[in-house]
Amino acid sequence: MSFDLVLFGGTGDLAWRKLMPALFQAFRHGTLPAGGRIIGVARDDLSDAQYRDLIRSRFDEVDLNKRPTPEEFERFAQLLHFLRLDLSKPADYERLKKLLEERQADTVVMYLATAPTLFTTVCEQLAAAGLNGANVRLVLEKPLGHDLASNREINEAVRKVLSEKQIFRIDHYLGKPAVQNLFAMRFGNALFEPVWRREHISNIQITIAEELGVEKRGAFYDQTGALRDMVQNHALQLLCALAMEPPINAHADAIRDEKLKVLRSLKRWTPEALDQHVVRGQYTAGTVDGKAVPGYREEPGVDPQSSTETFVALRTEIANWRWAGVPFYIRTGKRLAEREAHIEVNFREAPHAIFNAPAGATNRLVINLQPRDGVELHMLALGQENRRNGHTLAPVHLDLDFDKRFGSERVGAYERLLLDVIAGRLNLFVRSDEQEEAWRWVEPILEHWRNDARDPRSYAAGTWGPPAASAMIARDGFCWPEEC
């Protein structure tokens, strides 16, 4: 199957840091369909050769194991082309159309790695140039808008020129191998389904923590914040994967229908819940990996008086029969103590204790997303030494490390998702009604913060966030993993 992948923003940060390395890995693994062409599009005045040299130089900055050898890059570079294009000029789209018509590829992927404010313009110009045929697929990066109204505006503009099955709204967390294994664990095994409900689970915690600050994205991040950047998309998609009912099959709409039901079942916010169950934080100067780092307001591009949140912790519930009364906790932030993402499923205590057990010890299922990828099952066991101490149980755990088990076969998130776009598989992409429902749920939080004159709660860089996040979960009698 021949394909053309047109990368709008082809010289930008996302293109060289994520997309090009992912495409190269697919090329290296032999999974990128033959007869492909990758066309970088931007306002820069570059020839094909200059664009290839630019990408070659950028590969020196990616992880060592993802860098091509000189011979590998020479072969990969034959796929790379460049077209100077001003996104607002119809004549430039005509030049793009002429380039694409040279060989009439089976599939044309338009990947918009640009600011979301340009999505509507690009879609309108593509349609005006007749570049919205049945063989065209459009990839939209997050954030898709900054609130419900802007999200709807973008979706409506896109749907005017393309059908829903041609639109791929990407959330790279859905491409992570560990998230794929979350679906496999739940729906490919009979072991967990009988206990995957309120009668057996006391609470579920989702943590997405970053050691890094805003880096060179201060101006962008200051207009976005952690709620829009991480919760509205990544965290809620993880929550859906955890809480959804088994779909009738593995087809895209069957999966997305069940995720939508979860989003519609999330308890709506009340003023009392917004005060008690949502914590907004912002990092101050601190130490990360033994190095002093500045506070958020001292970062380049950030307003010195900024009230943008770099940390969010919240508590929510799902109002349905499976999950009624089970709290779901989400926390995410920058400049935290460690870089890690994991899900912790905490089970209820045994109904009748016949052994001595450490206080508060329960069964836990930990799903590690990054930097490790795997599953841990925490249990209680009786060893020979403990038999002499009055049948006292001790914590043990089973640890399945997917990186070790499937190391040579692992496929990165963007690599998987780009291959799915080329193949036309929508399973791991977000439907417009999912996105709108997620925005509808977070909007009361945004509105609450807009009307709150107080600064975000401060936390020192290199810690686990403001103490209020610990107090929030402690009110229910629970704790975050590092505090238990």
Residues forming the active site: 234
The phi-psi region of residue 360 (left if phi > 0; otherwise alpha if psi is between -120 and 50; otherwise beta) is left
Alpha-helical (H) ranges within 320-401 are 384-387
How many C-beta neighbours within 10 Å does residue 480 have?
19
> What six digits make up the tokens of 393?
């149980």
> What six digits make up the tokens of 464?
């686990």
The phi-psi region of residue 35 (left if phi > 0; otherwise alpha if psi is between -120 and 50; otherwise beta) is left
Report the distance separating Cα 399 and Cα 259, nearest Å: 28
Q: Is beta strand 167-169 parallel, antiparallel or unpaired with respect to 328-333?
A: unpaired
Closest CA to 367 of 478, 256, 262, 241: 241
> What six digits make up the tokens of 425?
């598989």
DSSP-derived secondary structure for 446-465: HHHHHT--SPPEEEETTBSS
Closest CA to 365 of 130, 117, 196, 194: 196
Report the distance separating Cα 284 and Cα 311, nearest Å: 12
Residues contacting residue 477 through CB under 8 Å, at least 6 positions apart: none
Beta bridge partners of 459: 283
Residues contacting residue 326 through CB under 8 Å, at least 6 positions apart: 198, 201, 202, 203, 204, 317, 318
Query: Is 48 exposed, middle or buried, given 0-12, 13-18 or 19+ CB atoms closer than 10 A?
Result: middle
Report the distance separating Cα 226 and Cα 416, nearest Å: 25
Instruction: Find out whether 73 and 54 touch, Cβ atoms under 8 Å.
Output: no
> Which residue type does 459 have?
Y
User: Which of the 8 DSSP states describes residue 296?
Assistant: G
